[in-house]
Amino acid sequence: MSTAPNAERGDAPRQLRGRGGLLVPLVVAIVCTLVVIGMVGMEVPPETTFPGPRFFPTILVVAGYALSILLVVHYLRHPDEEATETQYRTYSDWPAFAWVAGSFLAFAVLLDVLGWILAAGLLFWGVARGVGSKRPLFDVSVALLLSSLIYLVFAAGLGVTLPSGLLGGM
Amino acid sequence: MDQLQLLLEGFAGALTPMNLLWVLLGCLIGTAVGVLPGLGSSMAVALLLPMTFALDPTAAFILFAGVYFGGLFGDSTMGILMNTPGQASAIASTFEGHAMAKAGRAPQALAIAAIGAFLGGIVSAVAVTFAAPALAEFAANFGPAEFFALALLAFGAISSVVADSVVKGLTSLVLGLVLATVGVDPISGAERFTFGSMYLFDGVSLVVVVVGMLALGEVLKVATRIHRDPKPEQLGAPGSRKFLSKREFKDAAPAWARGAGIGLPFGVIPVGGAEVPTFLSYDVERRLDRRRRDPQFGKGAPRGLAGPEAAGNATTGMAMGALLALGLPVSATAAIMLAAFRQYGIQPGPLLFDTSADLVWPLLASFFIAMVVLLLINLPFAQLWAKLLLIPPPYLYAGIVVFCGLGIYATSPSMFDLLFFLGIGCLAFLMRRYAVPVAPLLIGMVLGPLAETSMRDALLGSNGDYSVFVAGPIPIVLYVLLLVVVAFKVRQVVVTRSRRDV
């Protein structure tokens, strides 16, 4: 019953409740639009004969738009039943998602500056926290132990290039 | 008996101490990820993919083969003991397996599962050894039209079978095909969808997509639900007898044979791996059981466990044959293996048995070795593997994400790829959350270039005449097969709908 009033919970407007699946066709439509933009601006070598580099993507774009319409119909007719779960405000635990995704974002941006040991330690710590570890201080030691161990095995042992960053100058 | 000679030479190549070490390591990793619920062998192979570049190709593939089969040995352990199958291919084994464990016959169930997986694997390894070279020879005169039909069959089958709705499967497939078109077009040399970024010039890295889809997406999905889903209960009731009695063995034997027979053909039909044959085998055993004097199903029937286990491994083994001989991946794991072959500059397909015989035969020999190793580490120690659950989940998942970061950075050390990887992970989360399967995306990305180039080559050769696609007998057979698969799916949908209405 996705249309059940949820006003007192004060979250998403009720006509959108259980409609989160519409994000999927939205993503597909965005991807298709990017492909169309890319095809318009594509520089095709003049001597190219049929079927050229635009042939296959054209088929994909047509299929992609058609599928996103079908998906919109699907998700409107079958709203997400799990979203009506009453125990929590949302089906997904978004803070946990933010911890995991955010830690990886920080890792990606800071890796070259901090170096592998610190950045990977931070990543481990953040993900462990997101997945529900309750001992932040103990986690720090586990995180640094693992990241240092990986650095030893892969950078020193197997010759994979990992940035040393801050610690490299010491 | 040409093959026998070659296989023996393969054994000589595979039985070096280093290669044996890789088999053992692969089997241990594979069993471990198979045992842990939520981690599949596809994720393990994906995570190992960037790290094996330091190895030579033979060692890397021997390692992969161990992981690939190990996952199928380990996945039923948790299904039997805790009613939580390690991966999708173990769901069918879980019903009767867990019922057996509840009846205090857990050791017997684990033994039946391990022996079933062993027999299925051995049968398929024998079949691959003798059938794959013939299959490759047959495929050697495939032209563009045939390869296009083959790719289309794979696309159609995987997107209709894996998903609950065909629309979702096709959506996933189209996303994968679009990702595959990025980069320089190999036929005309035109730059496609790079939007001026030099990072996309060579196309989207398959490693980034595979690891993002299978590992990061899974961790994100787990993280958002781990506090909310009920925890499975460990069944701590080990049986009194440790081994199978002669009667139990005799009881399970026909089911093992039937399971392996059902599983084999599915190795070359791209329906997304071992899920379909395991359920088919389970269904066959249940129907046969109903005709017996005292039906065992529901009370822990050894046959209901033996069949699916043998079927699962028979399919997996045969799938390796299809991958080697046709270059056709039938599941996500096989798609990653294909990607791995390409990373080494090796193209699986009809020519592989000629050009890379020194790689293929040790690899096939290592299948046999892996089976024996897996039987040895699973039959007596299955209960020990269950102890892996003592790893706290936060550390397990945090470790996986750190290894993702390591793998991505090791293959392409740039912030762009790390961020792109995060984006793919978020997309994978969205897809998993709304029940869009990820396997068609991976197959689409891996086979996309083959589909596109063979389609355009065929049209170039025929001056734009579309009838070239149905000109030969082989494409027509493949299209008919595709129609059969789609018809099967339609029937299934109609049946479930009418059942719901009643």
Same domain, A15 and A58: yes
Whether residue B427 has pLDDT greater than 90: yes
CB pair distance less than 8 Å for A128 and B395:
yes
**How confident is the model at residue B502, as a pLDDT?**
46
Residue A156 half-sphere exposure toward CB, CA atoms < 13 A: 9
- Global ipTM: 0.88
| Domain-embedded: residue A48 | yes
Same domain, A71 and A112: no
Per CB-CB distance under 8 Å, the chain B contacts of A55 are 456
Mean pLDDT per 10-residue segment, chain A (170 residues): 41 62 94 93 81 91 95 86 62 89 96 93 95 91 94 80 75
| Domain-embedded: residue B234 | no
Give the distance from CA B440 to its chain's centroid. 12
10 Å Cβ neighbour count for A5?
A: 9
Per-residue pLDDT tens digits for B137-194: 888 888 899 989 988 988 888 887 777 788 999 999 999 999 999 999 888 888 899 8
CB pair distance less than 8 Å for B394 and A101:
no
Whether residue B499 has pLDDT greater than 70: no
Per CB-CB distance under 8 Å, the chain A contacts of B436 are 24
Question: What CA–CA distance (Å, rounded) separates B339 from B229?
Answer: 35
Same domain, A112 and A164: yes
Same domain, A69 and A117: no
> How many domains is chain A partitioned into structurally?
2
**How confident is the model at residue A160, as a pLDDT?**
77
Same domain, A75 and A102: no
Average pLDDT of the residues of chain B: 85
Please say whether the dihedral angle defined by the alpha carbons of residues B328, B329, B335 and B337, taken in this order, is positive or negative: negative
**How confident is the model at residue A124, as a pLDDT?**
96
Quick one: tokens of A5?
A: 């009033």
Q: How many helices (H) and strands (E) does chain A have?
A: 6, 0
| Domain-embedded: residue A118 | yes
Report which of A55, A60, A33, A39 is spatially closest to residue B191, judged by C-alpha positions.
A39
**How confident is the model at residue B386, as a pLDDT?**
75
Whether chain B has a CB inside 8 Å of the CB on A55: the answer is yes
Report which of B326, B393, A61, B465 is spatially closest to residue B318, judged by C-alpha positions.
B326
Q: Rounded to a whole number, what is the distance in Å from the CA of B188 to chain A's nearest CA?
A: 6
Whether chain B has a CB inside 8 Å of the CB on A168: the answer is no
Phi-psi label, residue B189: left if phi above 0, alpha if psi -120 to 50, beta otherwise: left
**How confident is the model at residue A9, as a pLDDT?**
44
Same domain, A56 and A117: no
Measured between CB atoms, which of B185, B228, B460 is closest to A53? B185
**How confident is the model at residue A10, as a pLDDT?**
44
| Domain-embedded: residue A2 | no
Question: What CA–CA distance (Å, rounded) separates B139 from B325?
Answer: 8
Alpha helix (H) residue ranges in B36-185: 41-48, 57-82, 91-102, 106-139, 144-161, 166-181
Residue B301 CB contacts under 8 Å (≥ 6 apart), including other chains: B96, B99, B100, B285, B289
Answer whether A128's CB lies under 8 Å from B398's CB. Answer: yes
Question: What CA–CA distance (Å, rounded) separates B364 from B132?
Answer: 10
**Residue A50 burial (CB < 10 Å; 0-12/13-18/19+)?**
exposed
CB pair distance less than 8 Å for A127 and B393:
no
| Domain-embedded: residue A162 | yes
Task: List all residues of chain A from 118 to 157 with a beta carbon under 8 Å from chain B.
Answer: 120, 123-125, 127-133, 139, 142-143, 146-147, 150, 154
Same domain, A98 and A79: no
Same domain, A79 and A98: no
| Domain-embedded: residue A151 | yes
Per-residue pLDDT tens digits for B277-291: 888 899 889 888 888
Alpha helix (H) residue ranges in B267-388: 275-290, 302-326, 332-343, 352-355, 357-378, 382-385
**How confident is the model at residue B176, as a pLDDT?**
95
- State which residues form the domain around B454: 2-138+147-229+243-501
- State which residues form the domain around A64: 7-84
> How many domains is chain B partitioned into structurally?
1
Residues A106-122 as b or e (16 or more Cβ within 10 Å = b): ebbebbeebbbbbbbbb
Question: B500: pLDDT confidence band, cut at 50, 70 and 90?
Answer: low
Measured between CB atoms, which of A27, A94, A158 is closest to B54? A158
| Domain-embedded: residue B442 | yes
Same domain, A120 and A152: yes
Same domain, A67 and A98: no
**How confident is the model at residue B238, as a pLDDT?**
53
Please say whether the dihedral angle defined by the alpha carbons of residues B210, B215, B216 and B222, taken in this order, is positive or negative: positive
Whether chain B has a CB inside 8 Å of the CB on A110: the answer is no
Whether residue B489 has pLDDT greater than 80: no
Residue B328 CB contacts under 8 Å (≥ 6 apart), including other chains: B150, B154, B268, B270, B322, B447
**How confident is the model at residue B290, as a pLDDT?**
87
Nearest CA in chain A to B424: A101
Question: B27: pLDDT confidence band, cut at 50, 70 and 90?
Answer: very high
Question: What CA–CA distance (Å, rounded) separates B385 from B76?
Answer: 11
Q: How many helices (H) and strands (E) does chain B have?
A: 21, 2
Last residue of a domain, one of A84, A110, A125: A84
Kindly state the DSSP code that residue B165 receives in the 8-state scheme.
Answer: S
Residue B471 CB contacts under 8 Å (≥ 6 apart), including other chains: B145
A and B: number of Cβ contacts within 8 A = 204
CB pair distance less than 8 Å for A93 and B216:
no
Answer whether B43's CB lies under 8 Å from B87's CB. Answer: no
Q: Rounded to a whole number, what is the distance in Å from the CA of A78 to chain B's nearest CA?
A: 11
**How confident is the model at residue A1, as a pLDDT?**
37
Per CB-CB distance under 8 Å, the chain B contacts of A150 are 402-403, 406
**How confident is the model at residue B10, as a pLDDT?**
87
CB pair distance less than 8 Å for A67 and B191:
no
CB pair distance less than 8 Å for A63 and B170:
yes
| Domain-embedded: residue B237 | no
Question: SS3 for B71-85, per residue?
Answer: HHHHHHHHHHHHCCC
Same domain, A108 and A137: yes
Quick one: tokens of A10?
A: 């004060």
Quick one: tokens of B113?
A: 């599962």
Q: For residues B86 and B469, which has the higher predicted lDDT (pLDDT)?
A: B469
Give the distance from CA B207 to its chain's centroid. 17
Whether residue B328 has pLDDT greater than 60: yes
**How confident is the model at residue B472, as a pLDDT?**
85
Whether residue B431 has pLDDT greater than 90: yes
Last residue of a domain, one of A84, A108, A136: A84
Question: B439: pLDDT confidence band, cut at 50, 70 and 90?
Answer: confident
This prediction's pTM: 0.86
Query: Mean pLDDT across the stretch B319-330?
Result: 86
Last residue of a domain, one of A35, A51, A84: A84
| Domain-embedded: residue B238 | no
Question: What CA–CA distance (Å, rounded) separates B436 from B443?
Answer: 14
**How confident is the model at residue A8, as a pLDDT?**
41
Same domain, A11 and A80: yes
Measured between CB atoms, which of A28, A51, A101 is closest to B459? A51
Query: Mean pLDDT across the stretch B354-364?
Result: 87
Quick one: tokens of B408?
A: 């991505």
